């Protein structure tokens, strides 16, 4: 009974502790601070409304037929008929494209974590001879625009006969200088004593990377995973050049081809855009808490 009472009392005392931040609970007693906080909240609400309005408009425009879409100026449709979305989904045959995009995402995430992580592990922890040169080359590659490197990349893909499948897209995600920089900065903040202890225990460098470094790097792993997912889903130019009109088109490639067809209507195009927006929105709501928490923890690590 006494232990239960102590735990309850501890929770009450913790709830009474003042919050530490830019604005404290004590500051809210001032009328001027209350007004400032109210203005900031209203400004944040206004920004959220402005940011969400285009998404809401596109989603509601998908419920309109062509006549209503071209003539009506109202935000909300006359009726919410989900059969229009079903018709456009069937017309696009987008199920297969969703599956193709899923394959691209899975392969891109695996390559982004393994290959970029291994390179960063070598630069930050192993540090072999010449690692400073490699590090400078990685940083220099960040200065090269992606459109410039796309031409030689595509030529090499065609030279090795790798076009028409997902492999080049996976390898491109595994050679991302930005991910290497993120991994390296985080690996350098890890306690070196843990790495040395694994070496003393006879753990090989690869096992150290897989069993010690990566489990300790969960924050940056989640961040890179989210970046890789969003990048693989929204990428268009390289999948369009590599996959072409074959059976492995991603959602973005299918959406572009669908928009160039002569029989396409504006309302069908709106519904197709909604199909391309749904997965990133779901990913944001699922991972946004982890993303913000891990970015904060990565920033204060060490």
Residues 123-135 have pLDDT tens digits of: 888 888 888 898 8
Q: What is the mean pLDDT of residues 81-97?
A: 81
The pLDDT of residue 120: 92
Phi first, then psi, for residue 236 (nearest 5°) are: -125, -50
Using DSSP's 3-state secondary structure scheme, residue 94 falls into helix
Residue given tokens 């069993």 in the structure block? 211
The band of 302, judged by pLDDT with boundaries at 50, 70 and 90, is very low
Mean pLDDT of the chain, nearest integer: 79
The candidate with the shortest Cα–Cα distance to 61, out of 265, 291, 282, is: 265
- Contacting residues for 175 by C-beta, under 8 A, at least 6 apart: 115, 116
For helices 266-299 and 94-121, angle between their N-to-C axes, nearest 10 degrees: 20
Instruction: Provide the residue ranges of all domains of the chain, joining segments of one domain with +.
Output: 86-299
Task: State percent of the chain over pLDDT 70.
Answer: 84
The pLDDT of residue 110: 93
What's the pTM?
0.75
How far apart CA 224 and CA 189 sit, in angstroms, is: 17
Residues 177-219 have pLDDT tens digits of: 899 999 998 888 888 888 888 888 888 888 888 888 888 888 8
How far apart CA 181 and CA 82 sit, in angstroms, is: 45
The pLDDT of residue 88: 80
The pLDDT of residue 16: 45
Residues 214-267 have pLDDT tens digits of: 888 888 888 898 889 988 988 888 888 888 777 888 888 888 887 777 666 777
Reduced DSSP (H G I as helix, E B as strand, rest coil) percent helix, strand, coil of the chain, to 5: 75, 0, 25
Considering the four listed CATH numbers 3.40.50.360, 3.40.1350.10, 3.20.170.30, 1.10.3720.10, the one that applies to the domain covering 86-299 is 1.10.3720.10
Task: State percent of the chain over pLDDT 90.
Answer: 10
The pLDDT of residue 192: 84
* The dihedral formed by the CA atoms of 104, 105, 107 and 113, expressed in degrees to the nearest 10: 150
């Amino acid at each position: 009974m006494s232990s239960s009472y102590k735990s309850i009392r501890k929770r009450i005392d913790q709830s009474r502790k003042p919050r530490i931040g830019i604005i404290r609970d004590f500051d809210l007693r001032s009328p001027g601070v209350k007004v400032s906080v109210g203005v900031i909240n209203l400004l944040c609400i206004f920004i959220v409304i402005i940011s969400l309005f285009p998404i809401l408009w596109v989603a509601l425009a998908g419920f309109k037929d062509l006549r209503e879409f071209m003539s009506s100026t109202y935000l909300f449709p006359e009726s919410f008929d989900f059969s229009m979305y079903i018709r456009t989904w069937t017309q696009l045959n987008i199920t297969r494209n969703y599956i193709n995009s899923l394959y691209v995402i899975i392969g891109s995430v695996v390559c982004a974590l393994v290959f970029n992580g291994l390179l960063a592990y070598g630069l930050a922890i192993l540090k072999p001879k010449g690692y400073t040169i490699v590090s400078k080359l990685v940083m220099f590659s960040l200065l090269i625009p992606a459109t410039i490197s796309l031409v030689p990349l595509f030529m090499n893909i065609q030279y090795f006969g790798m076009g028409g499948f997902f492999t080049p897209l996976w390898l491109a995600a595994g050679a991302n200088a930005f991910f290497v920089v993120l991994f390296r900065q985080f690996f350098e903040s890890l306690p070196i004593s843990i790495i040395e202890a694994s070496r003393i225990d006879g753990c090989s460098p690869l096992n150290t990377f897989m069993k010690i470094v990566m489990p300790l790097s969960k924050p940056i792993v989640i961040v890179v995973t989210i970046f890789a997912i969003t990048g693989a889903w929204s990428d268009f130019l390289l999948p369009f050049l590599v996959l072409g009109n074959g059976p492995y088109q991603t959602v973005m490639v299918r959406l572009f081809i669908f928009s160039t067809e002569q029989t396409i209507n504006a309302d069908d195009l709106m519904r197709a855009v909604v199909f391309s927006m749904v997965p990133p929105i779901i990913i944001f709501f699922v991972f946004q808490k982890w993303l913000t928490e891990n970015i904060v923890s990565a920033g204060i690590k060490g």
